[in-house]
Structure 1
Amino acid sequence: MIRRTAALTLALCATGCAPEEAPPGENPVDGLQQVEQAESLAEPSEANAIRFLEQATFGPRLANGVSPQPIDSVEHVVDVGITKAITEQLSAPRYTYDGTTTSKDLGSQFFYNAIMGKDQLRQRVAFALSQILVVSQNGIGDIQATPESEPKVALAGYLNLLSTNAFGNYRTLLEGITRDPAMGNYLDMVNNRAFDTAGKAIEPNENYAREMLQLFTLGLYKLNEDGTQKLDANGVPLPAYTEAQVQAFSRALSGWTFAGATGCPTKGRSNPANYTQPMVGCDVNHDSGSQTLLRGAVTTAGAGAAVHLKEALDNVFADPNLPPFICKQLIQHLVTSNPSPAYVSRVVAVFKNNGSGVRGDLGAVVRKILEDTEARGPQPPLSLYANFGRLRPPALFITSTIRWLNGTLEQTADKNPGGKLNSWSKSLGQDVPRPSSVFSYYPPNALAPGGNGLLGPEFSILDTATATARANFVHDLLFSSTAATNGILLDYGSLPADPSDLVYWLGRYWLHDAMSSNLQLAVYNAIIDPRAGSTRRQKLALYLTSLSPEYQIQR
């Protein structure tokens, strides 16, 4: 580590006497660098590479001389560039979930994959999709007469479905979740019959049809391609669909049940639960009538469940509302809670056409999100800085902190490090994979408190209790024996011992050259006590930096 004592001391002295307010007409961002324009994707700076890894992984990590360099390390991204780094991640070996009785809890497996997985981008996108296409493990009943845990089997299969299709086509994914038994159970798509046991026609359950339209495809209101709402002449938002269309979709999607060894049941009956295979369409329990869907399209009269499912999903997939609705949420989960309309519009254009005439290519969409000018560069564009970024959600706050310390998880029969991480995450308000409702861990359109209309979904689970829990997590991780006892191994060897070097290191890496002078001064003054040994000094500096607003808000 190159010593920066003199330079840092001068910076601290200067900022200690100078006001933090910027002169009139200047942006009030202070840091070690200010960059307006995006850099070359082929030759990113270190700070840009770090920022990219914050968006594309569960936290940056340093190679620290390891050869070959891990593809998710800062040094590797600097060497190969952003574009190639994305290409490598798109083809990285996939880490999966195991629903058998002998495996760890799925929350434990999630944190193991997030910390140790080589397919960081796939895991990160799958996690984003799981918060848009929501199924909660708490919503699946456990059949006591069977040896396996149905919630575990069901959610393992569902999470594997999301990761398999994370870079595939959204139309394929949409059909996959519609036929998935975990989703079928959670939102009443399974055993949604158009006839009762006496053979009398009944109205199918509307739950899946409604949530599919509201949460998985269109949203409540019609959108422009830049994600802004369309308004009528009186300034009122236009609804994206009607109640009659919800009912039409529920009929078109009726007749599906669990896969069974004997095929379809008789009219009004259902197959027993089976969470290992996609649901099957049974025409005997399907409403075969013609239904009027979106934009005046009608389904084929007299057709079966499979034909009508295809027609219904093709219809909603082609709707102009779907690209901006889904793309904006993906940007929010990966980059910033308040993307500019221009950013959304550029990503939507790729969703509509990946360059080869294909609609819904998620791999191309994710690449565009990460390569866009608003995402790239050491810092967000200064003209957007005040509105840019997102509060790190609990899971990402935990994983980022551990990965920066080159953390590894010792997965043995008597240790469950992922389980401990998930217990911390639960105390912070995010119990994976158990969101409290179909709106996930927090509503996607929640406002940031005091934000003058800015969105801040993650703030919905930040209160005095969870804010305190964040501090408690970092304290336990760094200062108690909890981490080591549970098999969470941290490496402090690369941290400088000198206070000035340590503050510089944290500003350079943890905050990619955006550490404010106030934070530099606060951390430096806290760790210069000569009675503190180097290890305790390092941990105190980590503790203070990790709890600062500058680290809590990912920009």
Structure 2
Amino acid sequence: MALGYAAWIDDQFARPGGSLRATWDAANAALQAADATKSAGQREVLDAFYREAVTGDAQLRMRVGFALSEIFVVSFQNDSLSNNGRALAGYMDMLRGNAFGSYRQLLEGVALHPAMGLYLSHMRNQKENTAAGRVPDENFAREVMQLFSIGLYQLNADGSRKLDASGAPIATYSHDDIAGLAKVFTGFSYAGPDTHNNRFWGATGYQDADRMWKPMQGYPQFHSTSEKRFLGTVVPAQGTAQPMVSLKAALDTLAAHPNVGPFIGRQLIQRLVTSHPSPAYVARVSAAFSGSGGDLKATVKAVLLDAEARSPSAARDPAFGKLREPVLRLTATLRALGATSDSGSWLISNTDDPATALAQTPLRSPSVFNFFRPGYVAPGTLSGAAGLTAPELQLTHESSVAGYANYMRSGLQSGWGMNGLDGKATRRDVQLDFSADDALADQPEALVDRAATRLLGAVAPAALRGELLTAVQSVAIPVARADGSNAAQIASARRNRVLIAYFLVLVSPEFLVQK
């Protein structure tokens, strides 16, 4: 508030943040020093994620990086990545490192990252062989258009679909475009000092120690030399295979497509501000994207400083805002309430289970389509009846609603995560300190206002405040006995008042819906 919004954003742009890969590497080294047969895995990536999300000073970079991880999806749920923690940690670092650069640079980082190469199977993708009937793998070529750049249909600058003379939407690409791009994404594999066939295949003795996070390199002998046609661009047949030349032409074409501004811009608005932005809001963000040549700093700033993002009158519109996704409910809680980690490792681990946890874990999307779709309209709901896109509602059902409530209640009371690195600690790793709140337990109004202000940023609205006060006051604090024999009961009652106040804020619409 002292800096002002724009200056705060500029300050955040300049902060690099900590490296998830470096944190993973340190955990891996510690494990192997104790037992050479052990190595870090998925959990250590999640540890690093929460450590940075809760304690890091580069919050905007982390927040945008998380948003990008839900657009440019890779997932531990894929068999080829389930045991590649270093790759996923490196992938998050790549997204965060490119979060405020150019979209074109980001797209190249995504295309050449080995985690994406394994996830969408363009690593070790070979050129066509007509005699053998082999064609290049088309998986990444399709998704880089459908999900990472231009979408399925041609768009106006405000995100609305362009229509043909008969009123039907116009497709952005055909199967011929996919086939042409698939040829581009041939001949890429692990980084290393040479392009030996064995290195391409990842053979023993040809494995660079950092191959799981360094950008993939081109192997000319596996790259298609035939003509490549896609989206109106033609890469002529090559006498000598030049994979990086083909890649540059493809990524330049995709990044320059007029769909990228509204397609990516609208999703950033959804992830950062509101689920169903107005066409005018999308158009302004799209103009910032195109006017800056695809600069993500300018785009993010346009998203966050737009009149609709900052206007109190917009916030009062029932159609404005977004349901916080479960992971962000947890990180917001831990940051707001000053959580600490006994181990220093933030051992929150997997939170997939909808019945007992969050129904969501970072980097564990069930598919390339993320945990929820940007165009999701929830059936049988008031928002659905109004035609509003509400992506996070795709994760919202009876089990996940109850699971979230139980998970947060348990966390407030006992902490979150594992009982230490060895599972033998006397309490859960991530803890909150309520001592200052305990002191207010006999002042219900002050306690309720403190809980609401810490989690909502302001005193609770009158209706919620009244409910909080009623609930808190329903817990009687015993009168102290002269001999102090009921001190434990008094302390328990005081703490229960505190826990009730915070818990009811955490399950309230005022907290769950971000305005």
Does the TM-score normalized on the shorter chain lie above 0.5? yes
Aligned to 2:406: 472
- Residue 390 (structure 1) aligned with residue 350 (structure 2): no
Task: Please give the residue correspondences for 1:240-389 in structure 2 after superposition, counting only pairs within 5 Å.
Answer: 240-265=172-197, 270-272=201-203, 274-294=211-231, 296-302=232-238, 304-354=242-292, 359-377=293-311, 379=312, 381=314, 385-389=317-321
Instruction: Decide whether aligned partners of structure 1 residues 192 and 402 sit closer, same or farther in structure 2, where only a CA change above 3 A counts.
Output: same
1:423: Cα distance to partner? 7.7
Q: Identify the match of residue 476 of structure 2 among 528, 531, 534.
A: 531
Q: For 1:334-354, what per-residue CA distance to the aligned partner results, in whole angstroms no more than 9, with x for missing partners?
A: 111111111111111111123
Selected match of 1:490 from 408, 412, 432: 432
Please tell me whether the aligned partners of residues 181 and 275 of structure 1 are also in contact (alpha carbons under 8 angstroms). yes
The equivalent residue for 1:409 is 341
**8 A Cα contact 1:300 1:308, kept in partner:** no
SS in 2 for 1:324: helix
Instruction: Mark the CA change 1:385 to 1:514 in structure 2 (over 3 Å): closer, same or farther.
Output: farther
- Whether 1:113 and 2:47 are equivalent positions in the alignment is no
User: Which residue number corresponds to residue 461 of structure 1?
Assistant: 395
1:89 is matched with which residue? 12
Greater relative contact order structure (CA < 8 Å, 6+ sep): 1
Confirm or deny: 8 A CA contact 2:415 2:429 kept in the other structure. no
Aligned partners of 2:447 and 2:498 also within 8 Å: yes
For 1:489 and 1:514, the matched residues in 2 are separated by 24
Deviations 1:82-136 (A, max 9, x none): 1111111111241111343345521122111111111111000100000000111
Q: Structure 1 residue aligned with 2:500, among 534, 540, 546? A: 540
What amino acid sits opposite 2:243 in the alignment? A
Q: 1:515 to 1:228 in 2, by over 3 A?
A: farther
Check 1:237–1:535 CA distance in 2 against 1; reply closer, same or farther (3 A cut): same
Letter in 2 for 1:329: Q
- Residue 455 of structure 2 aligns with an amino acid whose one-letter code is W
Return the letter of the residue paired with 1:106: V
Q: Which residue of structure 1 lines up, in the alignment, with residue 357 of structure 2?
A: 427
Aligned-partner SS, 2:504 = helix
Residues 1:160 and 2:97 are matched in the alignment: no
Letter in 2 for 1:168: G
Distance in 2 separating the partners of 1:179 and 1:461: 31
Q: Kindly tell me: are residues 337 and 249 of structure 1, through their superposed partners in 2, closer, same or farther at Cα, counting changes over 3 Å?
A: same
1:380 Cα deviation from its structure 2 partner: 5.2
Cα deviation digits, residues 195-228 of structure 1 (max 9, x gap): 46x9857310100000000000011111111111
Percent identical among aligned pairs is 35
Contact 1:194 1:201 in 2 (8 A): no
* One-letter amino acid of the counterpart of residue 70, structure 2: Q
In structure 2, distance between residues paired with 1:176 and 1:530: 55
Per-residue deviation, 1:320: 0.4
Q: CA deviation at 1:431?
A: 1.9
Q: Give the 3-state SS of the residue equivalent to 1:105 in structure 2.
A: helix
Structure 2 SS opposite 1:387: coil
Contact 1:170 1:361 in 2 (8 A): yes
- Per-residue CA deviations over 1:343-392 (Å, capped at 9, x if unaligned) read 111111111123xxxx1111121111111111114x4525x611111111
Is the Cα–Cα contact under 8 Å of residues 223 and 229 in structure 1 kept in the other structure? Answer: yes
Residues 122 and 416 from structure 1, CA distance in 2 versus in 1: closer, same or farther, beyond 3 angstroms? closer
Matched residue, 1:5 = none
1:447 to 377, 402, 409: 377
Say if 2:9 and 2:301, in contact at 8 Å, map to a contact too. yes
Query: CA separation of 1:338/1:494 partners in 2, compared to 1, >3 Å: closer, same or farther?
Result: farther
Q: CA deviation at 1:250?
A: 0.6
The CA deviation string for residues 493-525 of structure 1, in whole angstroms up to 9 with x for no partner, is 454432122333344443344733321221111
Per-residue CA deviations over 1:163-216 (Å, capped at 9, x if unaligned) read 1111111101111111111111110111111146x9857310100000000000
Contact 2:415 2:430 in 1 (8 A): no
Go from structure 1 to structure 2 and tell me whether the alpha carbon gap of 1:374 and 1:494 turns closer, same or farther (over 3 Å shift). Answer: farther
Mapped partners of 1:536, 1:421: distance in 2: 26
CA root-mean-square deviation: 2.6
Offset at residue 259 of structure 1 (A): 2.5
The CA deviation at 1:408 is 2.0
Would you say how many aligned residue pairs link Structure 1 and Structure 2?
A: 461
Look up the match of 1:17: none
* Partner of residue 3 from structure 2, selected from 80, 99, 104: 80
> Would the alpha carbon gap of residues 266 and 530 (structure 1) be closer, same or farther in structure 2, given more than 3 Å must change?
closer
Q: Does 1:173 align with 2:106?
A: yes
Aligned to 1:499: 444
CA shift, 1:290, in A, is: 2.0
2:124 pairs, out of 184, 188, 191, with: 191
CA contact (8 A) 1:83 1:371 kept: yes
Alignment partners' CA distance in 1, 2:252 and 2:276: 30
SS of equivalent residue, structure 1 residue 292: strand
Partner of 2:37: none
AA at the equivalent of 1:111: Y
The C-alpha deviation readout for 1:217-275, integer Å capped at 9, x for no partner, is: 011111111111112233322111111111111112222122244414289x7344731
- Give the secondary structure class of the aligned counterpart of 1:298: strand
Q: Deviations over 1:436-494 (max 9, x none)?
A: 10011122221134112111111111111111111111210122365782222313245
Q: 2:75 aligns with which of 124, 136, 139?
A: 136
**Which runs of no fewer than 5 residues in structure 2 stay unpaired?**
32-39, 418-425, 478-492
For structure 1, list consecutive stretches of 5 or more residues without a partner in the other structure. Answer: 1-77, 143-148
Secondary structure in structure 2 of the residue aligned to 1:239: coil
Distance in 2 between residues matched to 1:87 and 1:535, nearest whole Å: 41
Looking at structure 2, the residues matched to 416 and 125 of structure 1 have their Cα atoms a distance apart, in angstroms, of 21
Question: Residues of 1 paired with 2:256 and 2:237: CA distance?
Answer: 21
C-alpha distance 154-460 of structure 1, shift in aligned 2 (>3 A): same
User: Are 2:148 and 1:216 equivalent residues in the alignment?
Assistant: yes
| Structure 2 counterpart of 1:287, one-letter code | S
- Contact map agreement 1:108 1:421 (CA 8 A) in 2: no
In structure 2, the partner of 1:31 is none
> Do the aligned partners of 1:426 and 1:432 also contact (CA within 8 Å) in 2?
no
The one-letter code sitting in structure 1 at the alignment partner of 2:181 is: F
TM-score (norm 1): 0.78
Runs of 4+ more than 6 Å apart: 420-426
| 2:461 matches 1:516 | yes
What amino acid maps onto 2:357 in structure 1? S
